[in-house]
A and B are shown apart, each in its own frame.
Chain A
Amino acid sequence: MILLPLALLAMQDTPPPEVDWDEEFGVEERVRNPETGEFPVDPYEQDNNNAGAHPFAGTNMAQAFGGQDGIRRIAERAVELSRQDPRIAEIFVAHDMVRLKRTLFEQFCYILNAGCDYTGRDMAAAHEGMGVRTSDMNALVENLQQAMQEEGIPFSAQNRLLAKLAPMSKNVIGN
């Protein structure tokens, strides 16, 4: 009796191995731009207003944050800490970390008046469909605080940057 199913199994055609299932189902492979290392995104209008805050006047804040080099380290460190943070890591899984590090750097750099333009999307578009909650936002703030602390940024200057970011919450949370 057991031989019959075995025989049937043996008679089955195995599918030809050369089928490209991605093509069969229309899956497009995303390819990183070899120059920037980023995945392409749908086109949008670039505007410094997308940064969501007016920049500081003068150069005090840019200096306090160690100029563009310091700001870049802080932005990248904050992203890395968040990506490894069990509270919010899942949010970052499907996102382009290379692009996020660059746009976050640009946003901070623009707001701190350290000589950058912000080329990313606005906060509502950038967080659409993410379902970010207040507690997630707070976790991100803590990671940013740690990144700033590691760079030796005075606490009052840390808070001045956070003061620029905090009002954006309405476009980030529950979006």
Chain B
Amino acid sequence: MKKIHALAAWATSLVLFANPANAQDEEAGAPPTSGQGLFEGGKLLLTNGVSSVEGASGGGIATWATIGGLEAESGIGLTGHVTLVELPDYGWQSHGVAIGIANRLELSYARQNLDTRDVGTALGLGEGYTFNQDVFGAKVRVFGDLIYGDPLIPQVSVGIQHKRSRDAAILQAVGAGSAEGTDFFASASKLFLSRSVLASATARFTSGNQGGLLGFGNAADKGRELRFEGSVAYQISRRAVLGAEFRSKPDNLGLGEDDWMDIFAAYALTDHITLTAAYADLGSIATFEDQRGAYLSAQVAF
């Protein structure tokens, strides 16, 4: 519950931080700002996606081809997020930032923390042992547009995510081949306006165990595999979206690692703040099965 309070505090500070800028935008008779300023914005609501658990713009567990931040033109966009997942045996927390440059290049950083709570004792790690990982990401939009242009040509991006676990010693004992790994991915995303549906598909070349929190590959094999992740979302209004996601994962450690899935609702509280709530099924984590629970995320974007 402490984590929930932390999220609330974070979200509140984001609101306080974001509102003055927001109010300024909407001030009647404000001088034209087009062509000026670094954080010019200009994306349609929600079309920057939210922050995925790896920090890149996307859904919650799936990465999209979108570039983070509200910048639609030549300037810079920014996002910050915090995410909590309350599972039966674990507590997931991640936070991060991303910068979008000219709606072309996205650089992101996220920190993931997986608290093993009581399970830590059973796993011989000690109660409350927490796995930590840093994820450094880069994504480039190659062609296409999420909304405009040919309705059958999606926005396509490619990217890498370099992940560095901070638990090298433990991971070796668990049987992981490495505490560092790099994912390569290609994403295609499109908002099909005629159906109010956003669809996104990503192919990821990865060796990450639980995304990398449990290391990469195993002792015998690097374990790099091509895996799929995708999202489908239905736009209810300008501010609200309902959707579902799926992400397939390797099982290099022989611990019965499952694919991830979720159903989510995202709401743009203001032009700059998006809240996401989901029911996430993360399957088996380190032999503890049926890790299903509430996923909450807050994103602030400029």
Chain A residues at the B interface, C-beta cutoff of 8 Å: 86-90, 133-139, 141-142, 145, 155-156, 159-160, 162-163, 166-167, 169-170, 173
Contact = CB atoms under 8 A, between A and B. Distances in A.
Given A160-B193, A163-B193, A166-B148, 8 more contacts: A88-B34, A89-B32, A135-B34, A139-B42, A141-B44, A159-B193, A159-B196, A167-B151
Contact of B73 (A89, A134, A169): A134
B28 to A, nearest CB: 9
A78 to B, nearest CB: 15
Contacts of B33: 86-87
Nearest to B238: A145
Nearest to B150: A167
A133 B43 CA distance: 11
Contacts of B148: 134, 137, 166-167, 169-170, 173
A156 B42 CA distance: 22
14 contacts: A86-B30, A87-B33, A90-B34, A134-B73, A134-B148, A135-B43, A136-B34, A137-B148, A138-B72, A142-B44, A155-B237, A163-B151, A163-B192, A169-B149
Interface in B98-154: 103, 145, 147-151
Contacts of B194: 159-160, 163
B: contact size bracket: 20 to 34
B41 interface: yes
B34 A87 contact: yes
A160 B30 CA distance: 33
A169 B145 contact: yes
Contacts of B72: 133-135, 138
Given A135-B40, A139-B42, A159-B235, A90 B196 contact: no
Contacts of A88: 34
Nearest to A139: B42
Contacts of A137: 148
Contacts of B31: 86
B239 to A, nearest CB: 10
A89 B32 CA distance: 8
B189 to A, nearest CB: 15
Contact of A166 (B41, B43, B151): B151
Nearest to A173: B148
Contacts of B150: 167
B147 A166 contact: yes
A142 B47 CA distance: 13
A166 B147 CA distance: 7
Contacts of B41: 135
Nearest to B47: A138
Contacts of A136: 34
B6 interface: no
A136 B73 CA distance: 10
B42 A90 contact: no
A173 B74 CA distance: 14
